């Protein structure tokens, strides 16, 4: 069984994240979405709320089915991936900034543990054009100033941001 681990902050989940998640269906038998507990003090939503929103919007996405599991983690993403039996990390690539950062991180992640352990590889999905401008950070800022975020996040998420 091929298991992929998709780590992120998902604060909150956006249409960009959802697109990556649903496209992974053809690459994996199981997708584990790992909501990072790191830097929680600066987060807009608690880890529990972020998981709730992911569950809510994925339940609506017909293609989701039972192949997705959502967990939280507070250790290294590669270690969390190993604990859950994943062979690779899944990440989205939006632009050259993502590319520079992600390629370096993927190489370091593959090296963690040295030669004694099988490397955890990283699989990248290029953001589709209609979603590549979406970043959770800007969604949070727009919502904080009372702006309309309905083009970037599902309605259930927009409603929570408006509260
Ligand atoms: P963000 O950078 O939006 O705060 P996360 O830290 O939760 O999001 O990112 C988790 C993963 O999702 C990263 O690999 C990131 O590149 C990817 N991702 C975020 N937004 C998008 C998008 N609009 N399209 C494709 N991938 C994305």
pLDDT digit string (tens) for 24-75? 999 999 999 999 998 777 899 999 999 999 999 998 775 556 899 999 999 9
Angle between helices 15-23 and 47-60 (to 10 degrees): 60
Question: What is the pLDDT, as a whole number, of residue 60?
Answer: 74
Question: What is the pLDDT, as a whole number, of residue 115?
Answer: 81
* Cis-peptide into 152, omega within 30 deg: no
Q: How far is the CA of 71 from the centre of ligand 1 (A)?
A: 17
- Kindly state the tokens that stand for 9: 């902050």
The preferred substitution site among 7, 9, 15, 16 for testing ligand 1, maximizing ligand atoms within 8 Å of CB, is 16
The preferred substitution site among 11, 14, 17 for testing ligand 1, maximizing ligand atoms within 8 Å of CB, is 17
Take atom 4 of ligand 1 and give the residue whose Cα is closest.
136
Integer angstrom CA distances of residue 124 from 15, 59, 94, 98, 99: 17, 24, 10, 11, 10
Check pLDDT > 80 for residue 133: yes
d(CA 30, CA 71): 13
Integer angstrom CA distances of residue 37 from 120, 124, 159: 21, 22, 23
Check pLDDT > 70 for residue 10: yes
- Kindly state the tokens that stand for 149: 């975020």
Q: How far is the CA of 136 from the centre of ligand 1 (A)?
A: 7
């Amino acid at each position: 069984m091929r298991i992929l681990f998709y780590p992120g902050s998902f604060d909150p989940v956006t249409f960009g994240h959802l697109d990556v998640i649903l496209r992974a269906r053809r690459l994996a038998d199981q997708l584990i979405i790992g909501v990072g507990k790191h830097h929680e003090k600066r987060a807009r939503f608690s880890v529990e709320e972020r998981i709730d929103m992911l569950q809510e919007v994925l339940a609506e996405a017909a293609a989701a089915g039972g192949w997705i599991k959502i967990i939280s983690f507070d250790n290294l993403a590669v270690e969390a991936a190993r604990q859950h039996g994943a062979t690779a990390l899944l990440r989205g690539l939006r632009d050259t900034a993502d590319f520079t950062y992600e390629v370096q991180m993927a190489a370091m992640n593959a090296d963690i543990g040295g030669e004694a352990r099988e490397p955890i590889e990283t699989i990248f999905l290029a953001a589709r054009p209609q979603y590549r401008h979406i970043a959770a950070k800007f969604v949070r800022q727009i919502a904080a100033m009372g702006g309309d975020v309905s083009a970037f996040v599902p309605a259930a998420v927009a409603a929570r941001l408006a509260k």
